[in-house]
Amino acid sequence: MSDNGIAVHVIETSSLGDRGYLATDGRVAVVVDPQRDVDRILALAGRLGARGGAGVRITHVVETHLHNDYVSGGLELTRLTGARYGIAAADEVAFDHTPLADGDVVEVSPGLRLRALATPGHTFHHLSYVLEGHAGPEGVFTGGSLLIGTTGRTDLLGDRHTQALARAQHASARKLADLLPGGAAIWPTHGFGSFCSATQASGEASTIDRERRINPALRLAEDEFVTETLAGLDAYPAYYAHIGAINATGPDPVDLRPPAQAGARALRKRLEAGEWVVDLRHRTAYAASHLAGTVGLGLDGSMATWLGWLIDWGAPVTVIGETPEQIAAAQRELVRIGIDRIAAAAAGPQEDLAADPSQLRSLPTATFADLSSPPAGLPAPEVILDVRLGGEWTAGHIDGATHLPLPDLERRMEQIPPGAIWVHCGSGYRATAAASLLARAGRTVVVIDDEFGEAASAGLPIVR
């Protein structure tokens, strides 16, 4: 808690690389950029309070921008609490809200207020919010503007706007640095693994002074910043195209009731129909035994991001796991990106989910060191397939490898040369997902379940 008696609590969604915030004086609170599953926020508010857990009342909710990477929980939170909902006045939305513009002040309580600052760049109408107490500014909620060591990406609204928004992003970062004291904290929404950041963020916390030292937006002249930022932009998930419209229309209330249960025969029918049946277990368990035709996307990684990127929007999704808790966790992850209902689910040992033992498959695994001398029983590598994104490939790849990013794999699979495929990514997570898709298509495949940094250590030639 600060000298002003204000506490800022982080609501982290690490699977999407985002953070929301609850700021309180111990009695009332404002929530910034909430995720869709607002039960987490309500539970946090209930645990807080000036009298040892009496709870704080959420009176205000604000958005820094209309999000592209997740469905907002702001509208639902205001429905449940009666809080006022602040959104940029220039954003067109189809529900009641409090329009906010540059310089507007949100009075949460006599000792807690937010001052809106126009900080375009990530979007045209982006707002940041300076948190002020009796003694002045505490910090600033920067959304997708000034992030930790980077800024929000500027290409989500189309190529024709990218350069203009990059210039606006540079000016917005300078505006924040000029208006705020050096010790002011920055509390960004994106940048902890989110594809909404222009480059990977560096660190968990920061201040204006620290950003002056490390952030390209504050170190580089405008033209140099724009050139560097645009050169570093990589692909972003396909489902982003749908999220902005959902947030502008107003998301439906979240529904986390358990999905319909599927038995072994129903699962086989879905698999035979070519539907997406996603195995949520860790990749090592998936490699050891899985149902033929399933896709391995474990809950230990960014399951929702990759699934939302890979599927056709609106396609039915069935999930299987070891426990009902895994199913519930997947459902929560998926509603955050607008996949509102899972078609069906099943939990239990793989043997119980198979209608016939012949359905069970395994995936051979290897390390980068095995590429030079494959262990007995593994097919010789005729194709080394790298499924990382473009920026990762450019930074360094194995000489002679074939590059096909995971999101492009299904529609471009015919471009992969014939022969046994050894597939890798940066750690093994995406390689397992890719291998499951390749095996589903009838290819012979080995998963390199290894860190890419080990490739050079194994003596493999790396092209940079």
Q: Of 72, 19, 321, 427, whose CA–CA distance to 330 is shortest? A: 321
Residue 294 has what pLDDT? 98
Q: What's the pTM value of the predicted model, to 2 decimals?
A: 0.94
- For residue 70, what is the DSSP state? S
Q: Of 406, 304, 226, whose CA–CA distance to 69 is shortest? A: 304
Indicate whether 111 and 216 sit together in one domain: yes
Is 392's pLDDT higher than 70? Answer: yes
For residues 210-226, average pLDDT: 96
Indicate whether 20 and 110 sit together in one domain: yes
What is the CATH classification number for the domain harbouring 73?
Answer: 3.60.15.10
Give a yes or no: residue 188 inside a domain: yes
Indicate whether 178 and 156 sit together in one domain: yes
Residue 193 has what pLDDT? 86
Is 278's pLDDT higher than 80? Answer: yes
Residue 52 has what pLDDT? 58
Q: Of 287, 298, 293, 292, whose CA–CA distance to 321 is shortest? A: 298
For residues 286-290, average pLDDT: 98
Indicate whether 191 and 87 sit together in one domain: yes
pLDDT class of 1 with cuts at 50, 70, 90: low
Indicate whether 220 and 311 sit together in one domain: no
DSSP characters for 162-184?
A: HHHHHHHHHHHHHHHHHHS-TT-
Distance CA 304, CA 290 (A): 20
For residues 207-225, average pLDDT: 97
Range of the domain at 50: 7-249
Q: Which of 215, 249, 283 corresponds to the end of one domain?
A: 249
Cα 112 from chain centre: 30
Q: Which of 309, 336, 361 corresponds to the end of one domain?
A: 361
* CA angle, 258 then 46 then 18, to 5°: 65
For residues 343-357, average pLDDT: 96
Is 96's pLDDT higher than 70? Answer: yes
Instruction: Convert the pLDDT of each residue in 440-463 to its tens digit.
Output: 999 999 999 999 999 999 999 999
Indicate whether 294 and 382 sit together in one domain: no
What is the CATH classification number for the domain harbouring 269?
Answer: 3.40.250.10
Query: What is the pLDDT of the chain when averaged over all its residues?
Result: 95
Residue 135 has what pLDDT? 86
Number of Cβ within a 10 Å radius of residue 248: 16
Indicate whether 283 and 325 sit together in one domain: yes
The count of structural domains within the chain is 3
Indicate whether 78 and 194 sit together in one domain: yes
Pair type for strands 290-291 and 445-448:
unpaired
Indicate whether 345 and 383 sit together in one domain: no
Give a yes or no: residue 64 inside a domain: yes
Indicate whether 54 and 201 sit together in one domain: yes
Which residue would you say has higher pLDDT here, 277 or 52?
Answer: 277
Give a yes or no: residue 405 inside a domain: yes
Give a yes or no: residue 269 inside a domain: yes
Give a yes or no: residue 255 inside a domain: no
Is 81's pLDDT higher than 70? Answer: yes
Cα dihedral across residues 6, 138, 136, 147: positive or negative: negative
Contact 103, 144 (CB under 8 A): no
Instruction: Convert the pLDDT of each residue in 181-193 to its tens digit.
Output: 999 999 999 988 8
DSSP characters for 10-48?
A: EEEETTTTEEEEEEESSSEEEEES-BS-THHHHHHHHH-
Sheet holding 18-24, edge to edge: 7-13, 18-24, 28-32, 57-62, 84-88, 98-100
Give a yes or no: residue 2 inside a domain: no
- For residues 74-113, one letter each, b for 16 or more C-beta atoms within 10 angstroms of the residue's C-beta and e for the rest, the string is bbbbbeebebbbbbbbebebeeebbebeeebebebbebbb
Is 175's pLDDT higher than 60? Answer: yes
Is 199's pLDDT higher than 90? Answer: no
Give a yes or no: residue 87 inside a domain: yes
Residue 2 has what pLDDT? 59
Residue 75 has what pLDDT? 97
Q: Which of 361, 394, 422 corresponds to the end of one domain?
A: 361
Instruction: Convert the pLDDT of each residue in 359-380 to its tens digit.
Output: 999 999 999 999 999 999 999 9
- Residues of the chain with pLDDT > 70: what percent? 98
User: What H or E segment, with its residue span, contains residue 310?
Assistant: helix 303-310
Distance CA 25, CA 67 (A): 27
Residue 5 has what pLDDT? 84
Give a yes or no: residue 257 inside a domain: no
Indicate whether 120 and 33 sit together in one domain: yes
For residues 34-38, average pLDDT: 97
- Residues of the chain with pLDDT > 90: what percent? 92
Exposure of 267 by Cβ count < 10 A (0-12 exposed, 13-18 middle, 19+ buried)?
buried
Indicate whether 337 and 410 sit together in one domain: no
- For residues 200-222, one letter each, b for 16 or more C-beta atoms within 10 angstroms of the residue's C-beta and e for the rest, the string is bbeeeebbbebbeeebbbbeeee
